[in-house]
């Protein structure tokens, strides 16, 4: 059987805002995870349209599309195309999980939620000639899941080829998060077994790892055992976590000892009332300073997630937020305009209040304002968002933030990381176009590792099975 698996380009990839580096950082894993369930004699291709041009003149038997909200229209276009060519088209991912009826207009089979239970079920139905129209995931576990087919990923197109996930979801339930529509029907937070996660890590070549987990630190016992098992592996890694994780010094020490060098942290807003409004109760702005200090004291660089447009945000929020981020010496920041994904509590609230301004999903990319904000106009919100990027990443701010780092090496590391991420677009484009992005990995590793004690100084390496036994005990 010829199976074609496609990650269609997000709208951004076709816009003036497109930054190829962002999409060439590491490979997403959804399709590779599903490919693991197909037998070796199937002919399988994975195409990520962010990094390669799609071939559309082929005639696969089965087409698998992973669809996000801002790739929905492109996904539907590809689905229509392949149905017209006689393929059976399957669609899944975050957006079809929120709006299955919409996706069903374009695909033969629609999947809601993670695919580990539904996908193998579909494959056996399909092979016996009785594929269903829709599958809803209810049995959630990563136990016994096959390894993602990394051999099908075009690894040379990414800066860090070793992306991995060892957990799914998150124990919290913030109103703006996609979690509710995606995980309805079963558990919304679960992890791999520690020994399986360690086995996966040990199988990856090179030093650098990029964890794609929503919140790697969420299950403290799991994270502690994982980090213990990673001691001595000589890895450098980046991941995402919460403010709460950054307050847990003991766990942080373990993470840093086994190679944590940069963390994406969901601060979201410096306004306590906005956090309460969004039900993000585990964040307290009073803790932010300590969280940032804990990470920086250990040489962990911070990428702050910051969201604008909550009802308590007035037009002064932009300047205050950027000043706060620069004063804390944050290395990078990702700003977002609050976006009500269909199926979330936020969407329901705004819809009930008649404040949703458009249902053009292309605009749900966190760069456009798609609802009526409470204390400013949509145009003011968008302008403040762009100004924040400009203010945070102007050289004056970068240098000011970098100066807060101890020693010359600390300052240079900050400058190289923030500058490399946002100031070298003209350099990155030809490198990516020439297919040389993976050659830059050593540079990234040097920046991440600079001035921090080499990971793996502790020589004893925990046996993965012991780690899992300890966890179970
Ligand atoms: C890699 C990644 C990116 C990459 C590439 C995005 C891409 N096109 O894949 C980059 C860095 C570019 C990126 C950008 C953004 N991202 Co992003 N990203 C991720 C990340 C970290 C990992 C995705 C992944 O590989 N997961 C692991 C795999 C195994 O899980 P999966 O993809 O969900 O696949 C499973 C199921 O979905 C299902 N499935 C999926 N497709 C199909 C198809 C079929 C047929 C079947 C059966 C099953 C199935 O089965 C798979 C196995 O269980 C996720 C977080 C996460 N943990 O998933 C965020 C995430 C997807 N990103 C998110 C966001 C908000 C963004 C940005 C908007 C941020 C920003 N402001 O810049 C931008 C998007 C820009 C835009 N224009 O829209 C949100 C999405 C929220 C939403 N409702 O859409 C997430 C969930 C992070 C979060 N926790 O909030 N992102």
pLDDT digits (tens, 9 = 90+) for 141-159: 999 999 999 999 998 899 9
Which atom number of ligand 1 is nearest to the Cα of residue 336? 71
Residue 471 confidence (pLDDT): 38
Residue 457 lies in a domain: no
- 419 shares a domain with 342: yes
Cβ of 123 closer than 6 Å to ligand 1, yes or no, is no
SS3 of residue 17 by DSSP: coil
Residue 443 lies in a domain: yes
User: Which residue has the least CA distance to atom 89 on ligand 1?
Assistant: 214
Distance from the CA of 470 to the center of ligand 1, in angstroms? 32
Q: Phi and psi at residue 170, in whole multiples of 5°? A: -165, 145
Encode pLDDT of 347-398 as tens digits: 999 999 999 999 999 999 999 999 999 999 999 999 999 999 999 999 999 9
Cβ atoms 64, 3 nearer than 8 A: yes
Residue with tokens 């798609």: 370
- 163 shares a domain with 222: yes
Domain that holds residue 287: 159-449
Residue 155 confidence (pLDDT): 87
From start to end of 150-299, where are the E strands?
163-164, 167-169, 189-191, 208-211, 236-241, 260-268
Cβ of 181 closer than 6 Å to ligand 1, yes or no, is no
Residue 172 lies in a domain: yes
List b or e across 396-407, with b for residues whose CB sees 16 or more CB atoms inside 10 angstroms: ebbeebbebbee
CATH of the domain at 74: 3.40.50.280
Choose one of 136, 171, 199: the last residue of a domain: 136
Residue 149 lies in a domain: no
Q: Is 143 exposed, middle or buried (0-12, 13-18, 19+ CB in 10 A)?
A: exposed
User: What value does the mean pLDDT of the chain take?
Assistant: 92
Residue 423 confidence (pLDDT): 84
- 178 shares a domain with 97: no
Q: In the beta sheet, which residues pair with residue 336? A: 307
SS3 of residue 336 by DSSP: strand
Cβ of 224 closer than 6 Å to ligand 1, yes or no, is no
Which tokens sit at 296?
């920086």
Residue 461 lies in a domain: no
Residue 470 confidence (pLDDT): 41
Q: Residue 132: which of 106, 102, 111 has the closest Cα?
A: 111
Which atom number of ligand 1 is nearest to the Cα of residue 91? 45
Count of domains observed in the chain = 2
Residue with tokens 């968002």: 385
Distance from the CA of 26 to the center of ligand 1, in angstroms? 12
Distance from the CA of 148 to the center of ligand 1, in angstroms? 16
- 104 shares a domain with 68: yes
pLDDT along the chain (473 residues), means of 10: 94 71 90 97 96 94 97 97 98 98 98 97 97 96 95 91 95 92 92 97 95 97 98 96 96 97 96 90 92 96 97 97 97 98 97 98 96 98 98 96 92 91 85 87 88 58 38 36
- 360 shares a domain with 308: yes
- 169 shares a domain with 131: no
Which tokens sit at 384?
């403040």
Residue 372 lies in a domain: yes
Dist. CA 81–CA 142, nearest whole Å:
33
Question: What percent of the chain lies above the pLDDT cut of 70?
Answer: 94
- 188 shares a domain with 122: no
Stretch (H or E) spanning 418 = helix 407-422
Cβ of 30 closer than 6 Å to ligand 1, yes or no, is yes
Residue 462 lies in a domain: no
Dist. CA 189–CA 141, nearest whole Å:
9
Residue 460 lies in a domain: no
Residue with tokens 């696969």: 60
- 245 shares a domain with 106: no
Residue 66 confidence (pLDDT): 98
- 117 shares a domain with 183: no
β-strands 2-7, 43-48 pairing: parallel
β-strands 332-337, 189-191 pairing: unpaired
CATH of the domain at 168: 3.80.30.20
């Amino acid at each position: 059987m010829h199976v074609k698996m496609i990650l269609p380009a997000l709208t951004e990839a076709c816009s003036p805002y497109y930054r190829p580096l962002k999409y060439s950082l590491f490979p997403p894993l959804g399709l590779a995870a599903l490919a693991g369930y197909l037998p070796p004699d199937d002919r399988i291709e994975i195409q990520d349209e962010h990094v390669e041009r799609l071939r559309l003149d082929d005639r696969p038997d089965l087409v698998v599309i992973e669809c996000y909200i801002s790739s929905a229209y492109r996904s539907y276009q590809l689905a229509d195309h392949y149905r017209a060519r006689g393929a059976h088209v399957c669609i899944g991912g975050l957006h079809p999980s929120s709006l299955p009826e919409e996706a069903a207009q374009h695909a033969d089979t629609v999947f809601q939620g993670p695919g580990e239970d539904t996908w193998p079920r579909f494959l056996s139905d399909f092979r016996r000639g009785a594929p269903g129209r829709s599958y809803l995931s209810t049995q959630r576990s990563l136990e016994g899941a096959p390894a993602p087919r990394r051999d099908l990923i075009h690894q040379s197109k990414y800066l860090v080829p070793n992306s991995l996930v060892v957990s799914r979801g998150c124990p919290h339930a913030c109103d703006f998060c996609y979690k509710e529509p995606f995980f309805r029907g079963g558990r919304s937070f679960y992890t791999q077994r520690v020994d399986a996660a360690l086995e996966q890590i040990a199988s990856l070549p090179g030093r650098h790892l990029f964890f794609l987990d929503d919140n790697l630190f969420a299950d403290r016992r799991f994270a502690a055992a994982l980090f213990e098992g990673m001691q001595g592996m000589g890895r450098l890694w980046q991941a995402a976590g919460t403010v709460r994780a950054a307050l847990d010094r003991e766990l942080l020490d373990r993470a840093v000892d086994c190679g944590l060098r940069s963390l994406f942290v969901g601060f979201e807003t410096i306004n306590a009332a906005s956090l309460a409004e969004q039900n993000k109760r585990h964040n307290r702005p009073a803790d932010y300073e300590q969280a940032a200090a804990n990470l920086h004291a250990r040489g962990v660089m911070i990428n702050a997630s910051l969201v604008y447009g909550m009802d308590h945000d007035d037009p002064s929020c932009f300047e205050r937020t950027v000043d706060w981020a620069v004063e804390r010496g944050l290395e990078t920041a990702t700003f977002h305009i609050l976006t009500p994904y269909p199926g979330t509590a936020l969407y329901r609230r705004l819809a009930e209040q008649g404040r949703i301004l458009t249902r053009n999903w292309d605009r749900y990319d966190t760069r456009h304002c798609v609802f009526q904000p409470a204390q400013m106009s949509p145009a003011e919100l968008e302008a403040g968002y762009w100004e924040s990027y400009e203010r945070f990443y102007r050289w004056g701010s970068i240098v000011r933030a970098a100066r807060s780092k101890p020693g010359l090496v600390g300052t240079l590391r900050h400058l190289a990381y923030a500058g490399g991420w946002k100031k070298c677009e003209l350099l990155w484009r030809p490198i990516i176009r020439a297919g040389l992005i993976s050659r830059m990995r050593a540079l990234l590793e040097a920046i991440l590792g600079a001035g921090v004690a080499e990971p793996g100084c502790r020589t004893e390496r925990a046996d993965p099975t012991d780690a899992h036994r300890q966890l179970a005990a």
